Chains A and B, each alone.
Chain A
Amino acid sequence: MNAELPLWEVFIRPRNGLAHKHAGSVHASDDVMALHAARDVYTRRGEGVSIWVVPSAAMTASDPSEKDQNFEPTASKIYRHPTFYEIPEEVGNM
């Protein structure tokens, strides 16, 4: 049997002003058909104004087993957050 149609990840912009967000995936032979499939599958109820499709094979993901070394070190760096600093109330919004 022939090879399976490749998998594509679908990203949809719900309306202008918002970023494209992952919606799901489709199988399609090429980019044009992947866009058609994404339109027919994921925008049947007016969910979007723009679509991106990316071959799933082209995506690189971080390794979940490295989650701690990747993301935990930021937890201690509270000086990156505005609430770390004390400003007198009289100064007003800053």
Chain B
Amino acid sequence: MYSQGLIGANATTDEDEEFLARFQARIDAEEKIEPNDAMPEGYRRTLVRQIGQHAHSEIVGMLPEGNWITRAPSLRRKAALLAKIQDEGGHGLYLYAAAETLGVSRDEMTEELLSGKAKYSSIFNYPTLTWADIGAIGWLVDGAAIMNQIPLCRCSFGPYARAMIRVCKEESFHQRQGYEIMMTLAKGTPEQKELAQDALNRWWWPSLMMFGPSDSASEHSDQNMKWKIKRFTNDQLRQNFVNATVPQGEHIGLKMPDPDLKWNEKTGDYEFGEINWDEFWRVVKGGGPMNRERIAARRKAWEDGAWVREAAMAHAQKRQARRDAASVAAE
């Protein structure tokens, strides 16, 4: 989902060639770039944008799954789902913190999300209709996210790479949690199996879209590969995901909703059908089934929370004043 952070990113820089060459030499030597280091403005801007959108995706991503916490079918599933969604909030927090090292505040990034200026992964603009969607999200959406995030652990920007290492470690249970839900459904009653297949049918294609547009259509891919913000192309990652996921689906007796899907002995890859890029762009541009609701929910939380944040700050100031007064009195 996170390579979508690069859509429309403007990586042009004004720095002179010698500066850029020196920077590139550090990148080529696999040196990590740290926040206070000199860096091309385009590098900084691309990272702020990508990390911010990655963070927003985690935060908005809490909503579709949060929709099922109170309706989880067993207490064990409820606890696991709640812990998973909480993790996503934590991952958003780590990522905001990584972006903040580049001189942008979390509140600024939040305002950009709420105003629609900043994007988040298109996948979260689809609704969660049944409990099986929780399984499908864990299995497919988290699976796709992991595909994207593992190479980001080696991203050239230190704080992003470190955040990703922590995220990947914590997320290892997320996909297993989802797959286990799907497996239980697929082995269950005919009704349960139907739930699982229906969820797979609805989430499969949007999951493939998470990797972003095909590289031939992606404008800034080259520069980001050169800077080692990205290590693999969108298409490579998507192919890896399909190769890993199709056998998992077959193992539990589910059918991938793609009549063109077939194994290619020669390439060692699954060939798959054409992605509906019109749908992708429609959802990215705000026309998905849930775009409005997702942002409205985030906006409501932010606005309803304003008085709480103000009160906390007011109390902190009063406390500080009382401490100062006490220390003056003691002198």
Contacts and interface: CB of A to CB of B under 8 A. Distances in A.
* Direct interface between A and B, CB < 8 A: yes
Interface of A: 1-5, 7, 24-30, 33, 41, 44-45, 61, 63-65
Given A5-B313, A44-B86, A24 B97 contact: yes
B309 to A, nearest CB: 6
Interface residues of B, number: 25
A26 B36 contact: no
A2 B306 contact: yes
A6 to B, nearest CB: 8
B307 to A, nearest CB: 10
Interface string B271-315: 000000000000000000000000000000000001001101101
B38 A45 contact: no
B323 to A, nearest CB: 10
A25 B163 CA distance: 11
29 contacts: A1-B306, A3-B313, A4-B105, A4-B106, A4-B107, A5-B309, A5-B312, A7-B100, A24-B94, A25-B97, A25-B100, A29-B309, A29-B312, A29-B315, A29-B316, A30-B312, A30-B315, A30-B316, A30-B319, A33-B312, A41-B90, A44-B86, A44-B87, A44-B90, A61-B36, A64-B36, A64-B37, A64-B38, A65-B38
B252 interface: no
B94 A64 contact: no
A64 B26 CA distance: 14
Nearest to A63: B36
Nearest to A23: B166
